[in-house]
Chains A and B, each alone.
Chain A
Amino acid sequence: MQEINRRDFLRKSSVGLIAGIAPQFLFNLINDKKYPMMTSLILEEYFNVSIEDMKKILEIALSKGGDFAELFFEHRITNTVRMEEDIIKDSSENILFGVGIRVIKDDKTGYGYTDDLSFEKMKQTALTAASIASGSSKSLIANLTKKTIDLQVYDLKSPINEMRLTEKLELVREAYEAAKSYDSRIVKTQVNFMDEIQHITIANSEGLLISDIRPQVMMAVSATAEENGIRNTGYKTAGGRYGLGYYKNTIPPKEVGKRAAQDAIILLSAIDPPAGEQPVVLSSYQSGVMIHEAVGHPLEADGNRKKTSIMWDKLDKQVANPVVTIYDDPTIPYSRGSFNIDDEGTIPKKTILIENGKLVGYLQDRLSAKIMGMELNGHGRRMNYRYNPIPRMANTVLAPGDAKPEDIIKTVKKGFYAETYQGGQVSDSGKFTFSVNMGYLIENGELTKPVKNATLIGTNVQILNEVEMISNDTQFFLGTCGKDGQSAAVTAGTPTLKIRQMTVGGRK
């Protein structure tokens, strides 16, 4: 249930990415043993709707002449735990359960959803979606044939939803204590822990019947330091499509806590940035956000088939400096942005977007691919069953070059080094803004004073053409991307790179 508000309208043509520090409402979540892992069950049976009934509902959805109909069943359990002021403040369990029904007629979409999976309610919802077309049934429904998934990009070995709450609390406390005890100037710490299991089944009028079970975990720590009345906050997130082993073997919670505290302490001595155009070095730590905004969004197919993206007429043209190659790969194992199938049931592919500066592809969903006459590449995603799918990114990556990070910094006499971000936003016309939480001045080829409150602003054309040097130390930013009022878990990766000239905003 979505109350429509004016802000959503105004946000319509801008898209943004925020750091994985999700607000409370995005953190939802699960509780243990009472929801058994359903891996062993046949998912189509999970929703208690027979294949015959699915077919009937699809027929009803096309009864007014639609070209394509689709059912998206979802059951998602999200658990959260929050620790602040030295106590476990609260925990929550959030259940999303329902079906979304979509009908496509030419380039029009009819959409309805219901949380009631009775045949009558689904039929009513199908009729609502059907009304995007007006006429009589033309399309036949193919027999629904179960399709299996070959590649498994999740770690389902030690599912976190089978973990006891007390064990989760231990992880949370470990991160909390590490941040709090890092320095006596740390005055406040908050840890949010989220784990999720999403079961989906997709059936469509072309005969596809496919299911997926997707895990997702995220730990987010914020630490605030205070000295002489100045307060600053550092953040660190860690997570992905993992199980419990991730925090035991890969990233111990104490490392997450420590990094947040470290940044908060560094920021105590930070200065405001010098405003104006200057060379900018983007650190590999989180600068993927820049690639996501400046390149990823303009290459989502919807804005291109509608000719509102500045990239719509540039396929096969040189749009960037030849050192630039960018792709989106939803199949990176265990990554926060990965999936076995997209939310339309398509098996995703690593999709090259820009190759040596030339635009070679767009991120497609079914609707856009059909209209543009292009191939599907598995980028149709939706926030949940209450939303129609749209083209989205998964894991967007700028391919590495051969420069060394320190050699890049050495080339800058006076400039700005961006390290951590609050987030970024871009409009259809390609103008973007990034809020830098922490950066450094570059003076005579060296990082000197830490900088806070900087804003980077520019256009994607400018970024793509002014990338000068690219390193090979790729790291990933974990984020939650917002578009058309829908959020999606994504990552964005980049090595350290240099932009010849960019506008830095600040108070000096």
Chain B
Amino acid sequence: MNHCPSHQPPKVSALPTAVLVGKEYWRSLDELFDKPEYREWLEREFPNQASEWLGGTVSRRRALQLMAASLGLAGLAGCRRPDYPILPYTKTPESVLPGLPTSYATTIHRPGSAFPVLVETQEGRPTKIEGNPLHPWSQGATDLQAQAAVLDLYDPDRSREVMLTGQPSTWQAFDAFAETHISGLFERRGQGLHFLSEDVSSPALRLLREHLRQVLPEAVWHVHEAMGSENVDHGAALAFGKPLTPTYRFQNADVIVSLGSDFLGVEDGAVANTRAFAERRKVEDSLAPMNRLYVVENHPTTTGGMADHRLRLPASQLQEYMLALARELLSRTRQDQGSDNPSSKLVKSIVGVGSPVPLPSGWVREVATDLLAARGRSLILAGQQQPTLVHGLAHLLNAELGNLGNTVLLRERPEERIKSLGELTESMRRGEVGTLVVLGSNPVYDAPSDLEFGVVLKRVPHTIQLGLYPDETSAVCAWHLPMAHFFECWGDAETADGTYSPVQPLIAPLFGGRSALEIVARLCRYETTEPYEIVQSSFRRRTDLGMEAFRQFLHDGVLHDSAWPIVNAAPDWAALTRAVEEGEKRTADVGPNNLELSFHADRRLFDGRFANNGWLQETPDPLTKLTWDNAAILSPATARLSGVTTGDVLELNLAGRTLQAPACVLPGQADYSISLPLGFGRTRAGRVGNGVGCNPYRLRTTALLNMGVGVQLRKTGRTHRLACTQDHGSMQGRDLVRSLTLQEYRDLPAAQASAESNSLPLYNPAALDGQHQWCMVIDLNQFTGCSACVVACQSENNIPIVGKDEVLRGREMHWIRVDRYFTGSADDPGVAHQPVACVHCENAPCETVCPVNAAVHSPEGLNLQVYNRCIGTRYCANNCPYKVRHFNWFDYNQRPLDQLLAGPLAEKGMPELLQMQKNPDVTVRMRGVMEKCTYCVQRIERGKTGARLEAAGSAAYSIPDGTIVPACAQACPAQAIIFGDLSDPNSRVAQAKHRTRNYDLLGELGTRPRTSYQGRVRNPNPRLAATELVEEEDG
């Protein structure tokens, strides 16, 4: 087709005629959209249309109108090309070849941050998301939510039209309303006008806010995030006197202590963190020593799973641990100084507060020793939701250990006066809010329940909500405006460290949505309402660079070195001492009679914004392995105490508010601490997300935002079926995930490595005589279990979701599953993750048993599944020792998931919107056939074709190592998955296969898998390990 990809961005109109045709369609459609007649025609059902013809009253004019409309629709279906020059990030800049995807750089907004991506488009349809390799926050990798974002674009439940008090309206009607309404506001200098947005870090929006302050100085801007970073800001403000933004350099850290920080999981920047962290877990390649990670947390997290030492503590005791660590460290760093110095005062105040909780002694002493031994190369991290004091003390200790400037960088960002949701609610209660504009936020769902936001909102005379979905908040607002998806509009963004990146449209708005920039510009009468121009102004203002640089900015998807300046700061000892003294004195401790409840962001749905994304709903949580649900997570000891088993519905009562939630007993959870993932229990998320799970926001109040002590637990006697994809957590004494300590690994004799299965194949093995021999190595030492690969694979390979009922039956379709095993004791286990996809056995058990030759081997070592040959005997899946084959039990692609059992009576056909997401290079499978990982054979073939073309027809061609990357490996933030050609001895896979910790899963069966694993190497602190052992024996 005819996209406009070029290094030199031409205006669309400057392209050859072929392009113009498409553009003309587009233009006419644009015009048609605005015509009331067209709208009228569009909204009428087709059968009614027949009356026009039957009646014989069709005028010439009407007939032409209808023809024009159908022409317009033809344009709609075929060419949804945005109307602006977009700079592609592509291998073939001169032109786009049909059938070859083109990538564009853009950015996804995250709370207070952003995530830079490249979006693969197939002739104008975004189909796949990859990380932006030029941007430091991605380096080519992505996280789970970024991978799934493309599905939101095509969500049929997205808001499709402007609504006024629940009735369909039009943009024209809204514009007319806005015009008159704003005139009144301008007369009152904006008094009574309040904006509520998500924490969108966009310089363009900042520009508009500045303009707003000038023209409507009385207008107030509020920001609300359910999982916001206020505590991080307040903590920095406490420690340094100003809200500096800390960013971390894990690649420099030898010893990391994390206090409830899931920096490899749900916290912002996890992709970059994981990359930097994993860099120091590479046992063989890295010159720097392997790092050591201590994690103190109440609920198992991805980060906790990677820990060398993990301490389970109730969330309310993390602060105690921080105080104890601070006391230990400070008394050892400053012991030679007098009692007058600020350090001694702080230690004294800590002693004064007293610690009611006995902490494992080794955990304070030995961790402190380890930290002191690594001054300047250590790092103490506090989780985003940790109290201000914990953040403050973490900063102080980092400063004390000389980590500032080495592992912790403090950045100063432009300050802006923004108010909170609490302040907005106060104003609303006082009746000061005349007009409330909600931009994307959904406070009726996710605000602390004591604010009663939904109730108070009804008192506001004029409410306007711009949202991607008709959600809980739009149900209460007068106006609901469809928001353009971030793949449909212009904008810009900054990651939390200030690195600047663009938001480019990849497709014209599917449902005629507008962006927040457009709405705000209109409301504050900015010089233009064109987001493109606003973004350009914003770029000029932030960078003082010209258009040439702007083009490069769009092309790269990042402005290099644009992060906020690094500043030096000294900790404010006095303020921290005061904070310790004024801190809450703990009276009752968490225990069998005083349970604690903590809230945390769900690893998939985050705070609930992704609730209508089927891919995320069906991704199993890496720890609980739950899909389509959240649950109250209890430790086995707590469960025994309360007589609860997994699936029991509990009634939780926290400070008078109650919630019914199913229980999930999870080893590794702190005793007497119950965790509830947020993000579920939506009532107006859409067809996918409605009524899935329970809504913990109902228990969450301003005072008990992140945790509450004293929760009452009652069994209701009912049970709830939890769709868990893995019921067994024990390895049953089988060496599936192999694990060593660093010392054991170093002592391992090299000879042991080449112990290979020498079993003889029953049949003549397939001739593996291809030019390439593809294989994969998965490094379990770097693999965190983040599950980005699962959704990357789903997105690349057109894997359907199957719904909760089917997951309950064990029929999930993911080609990669992340196995989770517990090791050690049931109460305090270690966690091991292992991704398993088809391992492409050279002696594949599936191939010999298929009666119709649908499972065959390629000369390049790929185990191929021929869909149109498969008749679905399922013998191959039965005989697969790895159980990686997935059967299409129903026509998952063709039938609505709630009508699978209705068979031929169900609706048939895939909605056109969902068809647009599909990867054209991969077959969409029908029911009755088996499918499984192909090593992304479409990418292999594309790579080979490219190499052959480059070799200009000569038979000898070579593919440089790393050119062909399967979707899972490309997405992996930890670079745990390596793919390549075994016949090239210099390839990374070939090298990795020679390592001593390389092993074949179930290799003793003689299957000779092409995917091998690299054993985990842990780096425990021998002295702490010794004390833990002693305490365990004592206990």
Are A and B physically bound partners? no
Interface residues of A (CB under 8 A from B): none
